[in-house]
Structures are given as C-alpha cells and as structure tokens.
Amino acid sequence: MKQHDNDDLTFISIDRKIEKAFIAIMAIAVTIPLVIMVMLLIDTFIDGSGRLNVDFLTSFPSRFAESAGILSPLVGSGILMVLTALFAVPVGIGAAVYLEEYAGKTRLSSFIEINISNLAGVPSIIYGLLGLGLFVRYMQLGRSLLAGALTLSLMALPMIIIASREAIRSVPRELREAAYALGADKWMTIKKIVLPMSLPGILTGIILSLARAIGETAPIITIGALTYVAFLPDSVMSPFTALPVQIFNWISRPQTEFHINAAAGIIVLLVVMLLMNSLAIILRYRLQRRIQ
C-alpha cells in the first residue's frame, strides 16, 4: 500500500517536470516569431525611416529614388479601401443577419455555411483570377479602381460574414426573449437589440478584413494594377496603383536607394494598418462600454 503511494507521488513529480518543460517549450515558441518579427521591423525602420518625410508622402513615383514618393499608391490604396468597405460591409452584415436570424437549419443554409468557411481560406490570388475574369473581362469594367475594389470585397466578404455571425450569435438569448416579451417583432428585435449589441464584434471583423485587403498584392496585380501612375484617380473607372505594388516594384530594382524607398513604403503601409487596427480596438471598447 505504501509502495503504491510512493508511485503516485513520483508520477506527480514527473508530471510537474513535464509541465514545466512544456511551459518552457511554449514560451520559446512564442519568443521565436516575436523575435523574428521585431528584427524585421527594426531592420525595416532603420532602412526606411530616413526617407520618411512629407515629400515622400506627397510626391509621385520617379526614376530618381531620392525624389520618388508614394502619393498615387497611397491614394489608390485609400480609395480601394473605402470602395471595398462600401461593397463588402452591407452585403456581409446582411448575409450574416440572414444566416443567423432567418435562414434556420436547413440543408441549404448549412451548405452555404460550409462554403463561406471554405471561401475564407481560399488563397487571395484565386480571388484575383476571379476578379479578372468576372469584373475586368466579363463585366467590362477594365483595369479600374472599381474592378479592384469589387475583387477585394469578394475577398473580404467571407471574413466579415464569419465575424458578424459570431458577434450576432454572442448576443444573449434572454435579451431577445425579453424583446419578444415586450411585443417587439423579429425585425424590431434585430434592429434594436441584436445589431447594436453585436456591433463591436462586427466592426472589429470589418476593420481587420479590410486591413488584410489593403495589404494584399496578388489579387490587385492579377486584375491589373499598374506600377507607374503619376496622377490621382478622378473616378472609380480610373486606372490605379496601390501601396503593395509600388513596394514590390521598388524592392525588385537593382539600386539600393530604391530598396530604402521600399522600406519607407512598408512603414507607411504598416502605419496605415496599425491605425486601422487601433481604430478597431477603440471602437470596440467604446461601444462595449456604451452597451454595458
């Protein structure tokens, strides 16, 4: 009997050791990507920070690395983002509300559900090819901002739908029932209770998927974003360029001065994405407080 107890104790101490080793391994696993990312960031900042000034943000691309700027790609990316949001957000939220509130559990709805989840994992270049075939060629939109934004909206949609559905699902059942009990119909409940309550989650999903969309290079190159554009777009049908395309072009040039420009461009892109992410966090925080 005593012997048995000892066995148990040794087992426990072995378990403790394994646990400690496990924690150590996990800590290393967290450290490795962090260190790599920090090194990459520091490297980029050292290379690019010298080039970051107002001129860099307000000049058009040029063959002289010192006077080249990113005005047209920056504006191009900005307009792309606004248009993408215009297309993707209403459709995304609409689809999420329908699937969560109205569709029920039919075969069709679970089929749609599986497809949306799968679409979220499709490589972005596939969306580029789809955009090229559908918007550029078939719908004759040309290699325009509109075609680019529509393509990016397709890419952002699955993520927006999934995030919105999660948010809608997390609205407590009691609240809905309380609304029904007060005599509200389904639409009133969705409008007054479900959507406002799930808004923080929905917004976070929207902003994160848009941030991903503006960082994408493959789909917009596929649908025909240009590289040298020395004017600002004056309509949605205008040809355009975007930040990732310009960065890619500068990186592949032989002259190191252009590589420095690329680093500065990466910083601008990072700042834009960080701003968007912090906007998501702030909105989430404020809205949640309001709800409480």
- Under the rule (CB under 8 A), what is the footprint of another protein? 61-63, 86, 143, 191, 224-231, 234-239, 249, 251-256, 259
Q: Which two tokens stand for residue 105?
A: 């559990």
Between 71 and 116, CB nearer to another protein: 71
Min dist. Cβ of residue 238 to another protein (A) = 7
Q: Residue 144: name the closest of 226, 237, 246 by CA.
A: 237
Between 13 and 227, CB nearer to another protein: 227
Between 162 and 245, CB nearer to another protein: 245
Taking the C-alpha atoms of residue 156 and residue 117, their distance in angstroms, rounded to an integer, is 12
Residue 58 CB neighbours (<10 A): 11
Q: Residue 212 in contact with residue 127, Cβ under 8 Å?
A: no
DSSP H or E segment with residue 2? helix 2-48
Between 151 and 273, CB nearer to another protein: 151
Q: Residue 51 in contact with residue 263, Cβ under 8 Å?
A: yes
Min dist. Cβ of residue 253 to another protein (A) = 7
Taking the C-alpha atoms of residue 115 and residue 94, their distance in angstroms, rounded to an integer, is 17
Min dist. Cβ of residue 263 to another protein (A) = 13
Q: Which two tokens stand for residue 132?
A: 């090229």
Min dist. Cβ of residue 195 to another protein (A) = 10
Between 196 and 215, CB nearer to another protein: 196
Between 72 and 116, CB nearer to another protein: 72
Min dist. Cβ of residue 220 to another protein (A) = 11
Between 245 and 280, CB nearer to another protein: 245
Min dist. Cβ of residue 86 to another protein (A) = 6
- Backbone torsions φ then ψ of 151, nearest 5 degrees: -65, -45
Min dist. Cβ of residue 251 to another protein (A) = 7
Q: CA quadruple 249, 255, 259, 262: dihedral positive or negative? A: negative
Work out the burial of residue 97: count CB atoms within 10 Å of its CB; fewer than 13 is exposed, 13-18 middle, 19 or more buried: buried
Which amino acid does the sequence have at 250?
W
